[in-house]
Structure 1
């Protein structure tokens, strides 16, 4: 995808100006953490108690 015209490429450096305040754990991080822990719990349970066929 080509960069838009008239836009300065800052090479990944954020411009100075008002910074967005970041909270320690925003909702997106909490949801991701919950899903990761649920998946980890499921995999550990499947490892310890596998299904018997």
Structure 2
């Protein structure tokens, strides 16, 4: 995925992680470091009652 661009393959690289549950802050930081990209986003599903 390329962030901040209107054309494919022209913007800053970004990572989007879709997870089943909310990870710890430490996990997110370590994964972002491992991905080594300018932007790392995390999305996770909330419980049905939230």
Structure 1 length-normalised TM: 0.25
Between Structure 1 and Structure 2, which shows a larger proportion of helix residues? 1
Between Structure 1 and Structure 2, which shows a larger proportion of strand residues? 2
Structure 2 length-normalised TM: 0.26
Q: Which has the larger radius of gyration?
A: 1
